[in-house]
Structure 1
């Protein structure tokens, strides 16, 4: 099969390939390239394509010859793409999606009857805040659709997409490759969570009280967070009594305890709703950050994207009220 031409231009952007070269590039090379791009392993790509490893290796050799570039280099982390491969990935994914659409009988997604399963990556602060809203929407409108929430963050999200572990992701301030689609769905910020009675203080929280109270730190590294950086710039520091890695563990540490935690507003509001804790504004300016929805170009589902987006939009009024 000759390599397809879409919208008047070739979907493979290779400077050295001329019109005479095109007939020797079949569509199977495209699918092999994308399998290697997503799996980062010859053996896994072969298994995915139901081919032998030698067949995939031979196809990779043809791709390398056509592109005059190694495309994928073996490292301890698997077959890593070169800059040329990274530049090719987006156009190839777009092209394959268009071809698939052209030759497929499109069946509209019907949430009421679908049995599809979605895997959504997000850190536990988003799981706490919007996970239940997503689950309730599915129960009401798509009773046979299931969802798995996978723990991730902006540092790990690309790996999970490449490993095929997630279909969509909600990430704060993502910095990802062009192979992923990205849509900003809103902003969030920070607030304090505490037990005012146990802390024996009146709200709003003053900087003096904030610095006097023991702090509970929730951090991926378990060592420091944005609060420490902002306080350092202001010439202050705080005393961290305990460090946790998950926001969901905070209530038992805070209820009846003279301590305070600073965390994303959306998580603080959700945790306060299921405990006797109180949310209040932080006495220092911690700023805001963007929140985006990510997905693979070739595995989109507008309905579930809208469900996720609406879940975040539903909590925005509560977030804005803290400011």
Structure 2
């Protein structure tokens, strides 16, 4: 569909700037109620603004479905330009008015895996306490199935994950992590060369919710490691005691985690018997253009904290 640039320009540049915010909020949240909460106005006000937009653009823009407000073809087409236009406006205003973290009382939200929460929350919390002592940090569980939606709707500000999100999210690679094999020092395999054949025949334990599980599963499939794991667990913290007390189990985990655990548990580390390049962890930021000054600051603060901190994974140590 060819979009008339003059229509987009009219909406952004005229007195309809507030209507543009309503459009973007509905598009990203998928709900009139959620859009109202985001913009601090009533649902009735959102409905009135949407009605005016529909009249001016000659298109329904959104259709009500069981899943929420579904954008029309025109709405899909003009959203990128309207979103970018609001981002430019908000950044310009932020440059004039400024964002002062020392006085901010905002709640900043980041989605982290269990490992990310254990490894990086201390560094992120310290960085925020130093620069924004009155601000609050809320950590949400990282769920692969709805992460793109959460970032699109602005339910979370940032997320750290090895996932490749299909949307046009701004991101920065903050860490590259290798993987190693870990087992009890009492496991007979600790005295054996870890060949591919040995690895395939070993009893493996698997963390179901690990954000890198899909990456490792793909490598296993290519290497012919087709048998399901002997044990699947939900939490990374359950691995050290499970491995330490077993004479048969092995686990494939991030190298920094393996090194940290080996300092507190009777575990040994072995190289993988197949090639697995470092897994890249990306810091993503939400797409919503609201409060870009605060978001820019949070993104830079988390990036610096995570990039300069190896991860406090040795903190996972229950007395053995």
- Same fold flag (TM > 0.5): yes
Is the 1:17–1:66 contact (alpha carbons within 8 Å) kept by the matching residues of 2? no
Residue 216 of structure 1 and its aligned partner are, at CA, apart by 0.5
Is the 1:228–1:237 contact (alpha carbons within 8 Å) kept by the matching residues of 2? no
Tell me what 1:217 maps to.
206
Tell me what 2:147 maps to.
157
Is the 2:162–2:279 contact (alpha carbons within 8 Å) kept by the matching residues of 1? yes
Pairing partner for 2:251 from 261, 273, 276: 261
Q: Call closer, same or farther: CA 1:54–1:315 in 2, change over 3 Å.
A: closer
Residue 181 of structure 1 and its aligned partner are, at CA, apart by 2.3
Is the 1:210–1:283 contact (alpha carbons within 8 Å) kept by the matching residues of 2? yes
Is the 1:128–1:270 contact (alpha carbons within 8 Å) kept by the matching residues of 2? no
Q: Call closer, same or farther: CA 1:17–1:215 in 2, change over 3 Å.
A: same
Tell me what 1:244 maps to.
233
Tell me what 1:298 maps to.
290
The CA distance in 1 between the partners of 2:279 and 2:125, in whole Å, is: 25
The correspondence of residues 85-164 of structure 1 with structure 2, limited to 5 A, is 85-103=75-93, 105-111=96-102, 114-140=104-130, 142-164=132-154
Residue 141 of structure 1 and its aligned partner are, at CA, apart by 5.1
Is the 1:173–1:289 contact (alpha carbons within 8 Å) kept by the matching residues of 2? no
CA deviations 1:178-230 (Å, max 9, x no partner) are 3x3222334334322322334552376333432332111123499x8554543
The CA distance in 1 between the partners of 2:205 and 2:8, in whole Å, is: 62
**TM-score, structure 2 normalization:** 0.76
Is the 2:174–2:303 contact (alpha carbons within 8 Å) kept by the matching residues of 1? yes
CA deviations 1:41-96 (Å, max 9, x no partner) are 12332344455544433432332344444432322221133453344333323323
Pairing partner for 2:304 from 300, 307, 310: 310
2:274 matches 1:287? no
CA deviations 1:236-286 (Å, max 9, x no partner) are 444522112332332232122121112344544455455443443221223
Residue 167 of structure 1 and its aligned partner are, at CA, apart by 1.3
The CA distance in 1 between the partners of 2:48 and 2:105, in whole Å, is: 38
Q: Call closer, same or farther: CA 1:204–1:171 in 2, change over 3 Å.
A: same
Is the 1:153–1:171 contact (alpha carbons within 8 Å) kept by the matching residues of 2? no
The CA distance in 1 between the partners of 2:269 and 2:252, in whole Å, is: 10
Q: Call closer, same or farther: CA 1:225–1:115 in 2, change over 3 Å.
A: closer
Is the 2:115–2:236 contact (alpha carbons within 8 Å) kept by the matching residues of 1? yes
Q: Pairwise CA RMSD of aligned residues?
A: 3.7
| Unaligned ranges ≥5, structure 1 | 1-12, 319-323
Q: Call closer, same or farther: CA 1:22–1:186 in 2, change over 3 Å.
A: closer
| Unaligned ranges ≥5, structure 2 | 313-320
The CA distance in 1 between the partners of 2:26 and 2:166, in whole Å, is: 19
**TM-score, structure 1 normalization:** 0.75
Residue 33 of structure 1 and its aligned partner are, at CA, apart by 0.5
- Alignment partner of 1:191: what SS? strand
Which range moves more in the overlay, 236-245 or 195-204?
195-204
CA deviations 1:119-177 (Å, max 9, x no partner) are 11122232233223223434455544432221114442222234543111112133142
The CA distance in 2 between the partners of 1:18 and 1:89, in whole Å, is: 9
Is the 1:125–1:264 contact (alpha carbons within 8 Å) kept by the matching residues of 2? no
- Alignment partner of 2:170: what SS? strand
The CA distance in 2 between the partners of 1:145 and 1:306, in whole Å, is: 15
